[in-house]
Chain A
């Protein structure tokens, strides 16, 4: 299955939801209209029932009146006469009721008018027959009332049939609207279901894609972490190897150096009696002393020995520097809270004598931050930097060294600013290399200090940068983590 892009998925879900709402609204409106129509049909059906009732009522009254009249004609009992009178009186109202209810139907109105005419004749005839009977006569052969009653019976039956037909029609209409309503409701349900299923499918697919990409990301992350851990371990091993290598090499170099130095001294010691011998020869038997021999003993020999001595001494210093660096690299760091104020004051204090001699001042800014780091390493870093600043002042300009620090996020930036002779920008990266120096070589040193500072800094998780130009002083910036992490200590 193709992956859905976020935008497509969002558009699809939104579209589905909107379509669903619109469809539901349309179905709701349709439902309302269908229901209204249904109500109207129902009203009409009910009306037909009413009309039927009214017609039936009228017919019953008519039949009861006729029955009562016949009864009276046969028995002349007063009760029949009272019944006849009562039904007769109610007849016009009943007919009026039918007329009122059928005002929407001209055919029935016409029939009502005919019925009224027949009723009038019927009632007149009936009254006449009753009055005749009261007088004692009976004329069954010429009974107009009975004839009119039969006519009326036929007419009302016709009316009732008409109403029954309409009832059937209206009922079927009503039923039709009900099934329409049901159809609308079913359509709405199906549509809603379809939209719900569609939305669910889109959401499910989107969620599944999201989960998959989450898992992929997590896997990638885990891999990355593993990779970083591997690399770190490799680096650590490489670093340890270099440390060990440096240590062994410098140690093994020392051994022959002891010999070179030792036997040079032995040679110097041996040269002394030779010297004395040359002096004696010169005084007692100058003829035996050739100029070459004299030059060799008094000048060449001491000069050569001097060079050997100076070189071996230098080599010794270099080897010691490498040893010190490798030893520093192996020292276990112990992070502790360090107040930079106190630490820098201490550093400045140990160098105060030198500064006074040079007529330089060291200023420390107030309110310096606190860091958690290795105190000894920090002391060595800042001693080295301040020592360098004192070492490379500009002759003729009163030295001024400023120490500042400020916190920036999770790091503290310490600045050592001097107004000394400065460093040529092309040498900025070189000065941090071991045994490399910059500018006029008029100061003692092997080019170890800054290499040492940088190596120590790395162990503290710090970076050291320089900003300087010739004659314009130099600013060394040490960016330290506020808290030295235990991981770094373990490395």
Chain B
């Protein structure tokens, strides 16, 4: 629990509404970690790789990734993170509307840690986020320089 307190949640989500709903539910689940929200893939990648407080240089992080982004596909970001020496241990949770089997398999093949389909049914959605909170509280996010 101590470690998770330092973990920054990097949310890559172009839909403001979704981002707000995710954040609300994360907070309701009792997760108080810092949430950094990016609406496009480019700025998210810049943060992940280059920011002084980003996971590549300092501090553990968890990436919440939407696959449908305006400037690039979420799978490109996933592939980038998982092939980077400094970032590949960073857990990536894909949270998207796509429930295509092929797409899900591809994400796991690329090294995604958890794949969650955004259910339209809000109760299921909230439930999924709460479980994500549970997940956050038990995982051991590695230190960037560990």
Contact = CB atoms under 8 A, between A and B. Distances in A.
Bound pair: A and B?
A: yes
A262 B97 contact: no
B41 to A, nearest CB: 16
A265 B122 contact: yes
B134 interface: no
Please classify the interface of chain A as helix (H, G, I), strand (E, B), loop, or mixed, using the class held by over half of its residues.
Answer: helix
Interface in A256-273: 256-259, 261-266
A312 interface: yes
Interface string B77-110: 0000000000000000000011010000000000
B2 interface: no
Nearest to A315: B120
Contacts of A263: 17, 21
A252 B100 CA distance: 14
Interface string A318-355: 00000000010000000000000000000000000000
A262 B122 contact: yes
11 contacts: A255-B15, A258-B97, A258-B120, A259-B17, A261-B121, A262-B17, A262-B122, A264-B122, A265-B126, A266-B24, A312-B120
B130 interface: no
B21 A259 contact: yes
A406 interface: no
Of B21, B121, B122, B123, most buried by chain A (CB within 10 Å of CB) is: B122
Contact of B68 (A251, A261, A312): A251
A240 interface: no
Interface residues of A, number: 18
A411 interface: no
Contacts of A402: none
B18 interface: yes
A254 B17 contact: no
B interface bracket (residues with beta carbon within 8 Å of A):
10 to 19
Given A263-B17, A266-B24, A258 B68 contact: no
Contacts of B123: 265
Interface in A262-315: 262-266, 312-313
The 7 lowest CB-CB distance pairs between A and B, nearest first, are: A259-B17, A265-B122, A262-B21, A316-B120, A254-B97, A261-B122, A262-B122
Given A251-B98, A255-B97, A258-B119, 11 more contacts: A251-B68, A255-B15, A256-B17, A259-B18, A259-B21, A261-B125, A262-B17, A262-B21, A262-B125, A263-B21, A265-B122
B120 A261 contact: yes
Interface of B: 15, 17-18, 21, 24, 68, 97-98, 100, 118-123, 125-126
Nearest to B24: A266
Contacts of A327: 100
B10 to A, nearest CB: 20
A312 B122 CA distance: 11
A55 B84 CA distance: 143
Given A251-B68, A312-B120, A258 B125 contact: yes
Contacts of A251: 68, 97-98
B36 to A, nearest CB: 21
A264 B21 CA distance: 11
B24 A258 contact: no
